[in-house]
Amino acid sequence: MTLTTFGTLTTHASAKHHYVVIPKSLRGTWYAQNLDDSSKFDKVVFSKYKYYWKDANNKHGYTISGKKWESSEKHVELFVSKRSSHGYYTIGQYASDEWPAWKKSHSYLWDNNGKRYKYVCLTEHSPLPDEYGNFEYTHYFKRSAWY
């Protein structure tokens, strides 16, 4: 007696989405003094899947998600790439040309008496030079460093 089986084996390709993740070293809420008004602060928030930035002079901020898929594209809104071996990460909106580089580092703040204090910060390196050809560096600190 012989048993013969005929059939087809169907495999389904997984439609698993790959989310973009912010590096752990950058995550948190960070503040920098506003360039126009030093009594106000710009805010940047890095979570696992989101990049949020708010200028102190604007009512609303700007959010880019590593989970939100562009409706007509096959990628998420957020782009993250390790820029160099020096710890910089390029983070921005996918398919834009303005991606600042971010790095966790240290910098100094001074109190009203001129005493200097060293704090952990995020350093933002602007992707484009200013009108004089210089690149800007902005230091974002934890809220506790400012108060």
Is pTM, for the whole model, over 0.95?
no
The predicted structure's pLDDT at residue 127: 77
- pLDDT < 50 stretches in the chain: 1-14
Residue at 10 is within a domain: no
Residue at 110 is within a domain: yes
Structural domain boundaries enclosing 76: 24-146
Contact (Cβ atoms closer than 8 angstroms) between residue 54 and residue 60: yes
Residue at 1 is within a domain: no
Residue at 141 is within a domain: yes
Residue at 7 is within a domain: no
Residue at 2 is within a domain: no
Give the tens place of pLDDT for each residue, 118-133: 999 999 988 778 888 8
Residue at 16 is within a domain: no
Residue at 11 is within a domain: no
Count of domains in the chain? 1
